[in-house]
Amino acid sequence: MAAVQEPGKPRKGKPFKLLGILDVENIPCARDSILYGSLGSVVAGLGHFLLTSRIRRSCDIGVGGFILVTLGCWFPCRYNYAKQRIQERIAREGIKNQILYESSHLDPERKQINSSSSSD
């Protein structure tokens, strides 16, 4: 049984690239956006065809549906991914500072405890 690969980590072997430029396996949010976009294009194109029976216009609607759904999934996903990375970086720096300054004279928590006990 193969181990589950984390997104964003390069795998051994040949990567799957869409149109030769978009590495779907290693770019976060790319896989989901492409899958939802293709489903959106099928639904939009087939729905328009069933309503109007116009083939060419239905294909145009399908392409437009693909673009809209793909971008509609891509931007919020990338925004949340960037926000999560910033929060992880802040937490990592906080943990590093906690390890460095714990029980030293530079510890901000120790100063607060000392100042509150001396004012009583």
* Number of domains the chain contains: 1
Strands 17-18 and 22-23: antiparallel
pTM of the model: 0.64
Q: Is residue 66 part of a domain?
A: yes
Which of 32, 27, 29, 36 lies closest to 68, judged by CA? 36
Q: Is residue 111 part of a domain?
A: no
Q: What is the pLDDT along the chain (120 residues), one digit of tens a residue?
A: 444 455 555 556 666 666 665 676 777 888 888 889 999 999 999 999 999 989 999 999 999 999 999 999 999 999 999 999 999 999 999 888 887 777 777 666 666 665 665 555
Rounded to whole angstroms, the Cα distance separating 57 from 59 reads 5
Q: Is residue 90 part of a domain?
A: yes
Q: What's the burial of 65, exposed, middle or buried (CB within 10 Å: 0-12/13-18/19+)?
A: buried
Q: Is residue 114 part of a domain?
A: no
Domain ranges, residue 58: 29-100
